[in-house]
Structure 1
């Protein structure tokens, strides 16, 4: 069966792009459609089509492009006789339709658009402009969500938000994580080749707690540093992003040693995960791939009590859910996690590996979303 994979936009890195790559491996004959492609090397062996937005300056300004994406997804030209669409959506990609074709549309939802549905989870939704237009976009978004043949959510947390926002049922298919790759090396330090990274490893304070993500406000990496200060443990922060200078200022004023590691290689990041006493992950996430990676490296995780990341570990075995993200509660959870007995990394992470994802996503396409009855919650499948 000839299929089309649909994705918002393609970047050089990102969890959603990793999911798209796994989908592409699961369906090697499928083409790809996106708004614009900023990383053509990722799918160099595929036919990747862009929308008209790719030919405008809006591709460089996601916030300004947002209202235009609603129309850009409609009546896409079909270069082949597609029999299904599998849509990877975290904004409005699930609005996609093909010109002159009515094909089954299977939606893999990373989240309903946080901008308009959950601004408390994404500060970009709190601007006056976004709040003014959110009711209109919500109506359009809910109506078009009814077009999907079936919907899969990347976590139970997102499944519940889909029910509230879109009035649709969804099954849960956790995204794939590179657990087998991480498990393949008992000591990732042996895979680090860069001289500066090797020097950094030699200078690490031991023990330390680790935070790793993009350097953006909602990831709350400042709380990782605060938890280190409260527990007296050195801190390593790894990633990159616009918050780097702010984090460096916080690190310089901290009462414990704090190392900021910018753009680590995969080998260095996995080595840091293996060496850390605890991996601390404060944000409310739709799923939380990085905590799974930390567990695959054998390190217990600490998260807040709300979000999809809570589904990635067994509390008291491979991690601890803090009572809140208050620094005191987070610090108490760090102490508890640091004292946990060792756990079997493979057992903790096997359900998140790529073969498990590929099996479930294949069943999702083949069986119209197993476990789903009807389009609307409590409804008969009729459209708005």
Structure 2
């Protein structure tokens, strides 16, 4: 019997509530909910709204989702994010009386559920509200709300959300961060320590390790903060090296214009999981210039045996092993978000590439497996429950 199965049996009598922000698509935070439902099959599931497509509902394990009044508001299916100002009130109306353990999956308001003194509330934080805290200026700029009446309203709303966000942190018994970077943000915003449990990555999907590697690849949504433009600009300066760009989004037209006359930069748009795996497994390295909360695609690249050339900020620091670590190296860092820094990092990588072993990258990815997530979360919950008792 596995360690996780034994612990599961110890916990099967607990009444467990899992609270998620909103169910719209199967993405990174939904992977966490999926694993929590495996850990606690008896759990009841709550969310602000549930508009998950039928084709993606398998991750819910057949659970009915208990939602809030926002689910029934006009145009909620398409525009529920516009009801952000009502979400703190909505999440506080969820009735969690009678549950022994509440696990919230939080990047906005889920941690604001009201719990009693005999209940244990463990909050898994994907990120504190970025748009309300240190990324407010970027959010207002990208939303074209830097000036005018709409800007005043947005700034007042975000101010109100910040106050509520800090107050509601008091109802959490244990914070869990998905990376050391997010743990530092939790410390900054809530003045609370957080345990780090890396999010689950299905590394079993990425086992096609190849040794004949030629080109470079970046896989990402094309949104401003991902800085795909910097990666493309860098390879414009390296015409003898080929870059494959996989992804789609509002920045696609900008990226297409940048790469219009560069035969060494190949845009693929959005691809299937199997096609993404194919490019990751054949790549000489995965290049990424964003500051991410964690970085699941970086782990998927490592699972394919692919080294990383990534910005030295955010969750990447938890993923890449360096040459001075006994297990390393599994990649190269660059220290500023610029095309020049990426070019220099690629040159450095070319010089050290033979020392980065695909099997070592693959072994590194095992630290972020679904099984590792479940084991580590069980330890956190056991510790929290023992303190309560």
Tell me the residue number matched to 1:46. 63
TM-score, normalised to structure 1, is 0.84
The answer (yes or no) to whether the contact 1:115–1:130 under 8 Å persists in 2 is no
Partners of 2:232 and 2:19 in 1: how far apart?
A: 39
Tell me the residue number matched to 1:265. 272
The answer (yes or no) to whether the contact 2:22–2:47 under 8 Å persists in 1 is yes
Gaps of 5+ in 2: 1-13, 146-150, 324-328
The answer (yes or no) to whether the contact 1:208–1:235 under 8 Å persists in 2 is yes
Kindly provide the CA deviation profile for residues 289-336 of structure 1, in whole angstroms up to 9, marking residues without a partner as x.
Answer: 111111111111111122112211113411111021111011111222
The 5 Å alignment of 1:143-158 reads 143-158=167-182
- Which of 95, 104, 108 aligns to 2:124? It is 108
Q: List structure 1 runs of 4+ shifted beyond 6 angstroms.
A: none
Tell me the residue number matched to 1:359. 375
Partners of 1:353 and 1:249 in 2: how far apart?
A: 38
User: Residue 66 in 1 paired to residue 74 in 2?
Assistant: no
Tell me the residue number matched to 1:55. 72
- Which of 157, 162, 165 aligns to 1:138? It is 162
- Which of 224, 232, 245 aligns to 1:237? It is 245
1:273 Cα offset (Å): 0.5
Gaps of 5+ in 1: 188-205, 374-384
The 5 Å alignment of 1:242-253 reads 242-253=250-261
Partners of 1:265 and 1:319 in 2: how far apart?
A: 26
Q: Partner of 2:49: helix, strand, or coil? A: coil
1:2 Cα offset (Å): 1.9
Partners of 1:247 and 1:179 in 2: how far apart?
A: 29
Tell me the residue number matched to 1:201. none
- Which of 75, 84, 101 aligns to 2:93? It is 75
The answer (yes or no) to whether the contact 2:221–2:248 under 8 Å persists in 1 is yes
The 5 Å alignment of 1:268-279 reads 268-279=275-286
Tell me the residue number matched to 2:339. 327
Tell me the residue number matched to 1:382. none
The answer (yes or no) to whether the contact 1:301–1:337 under 8 Å persists in 2 is no
User: Residue 92 in 1 paired to residue 109 in 2?
Assistant: yes
Partners of 1:165 and 1:352 in 2: how far apart?
A: 26
Kindly provide the CA deviation profile for residues 212-233 of structure 1, in whole angstroms up to 9, marking residues without a partner as x.
Answer: 1112111111112112112222
Q: Partner of 1:111: helix, strand, or coil? A: coil
Partners of 1:235 and 1:124 in 2: how far apart?
A: 32
CA RMSD of aligned residues (A): 2.5
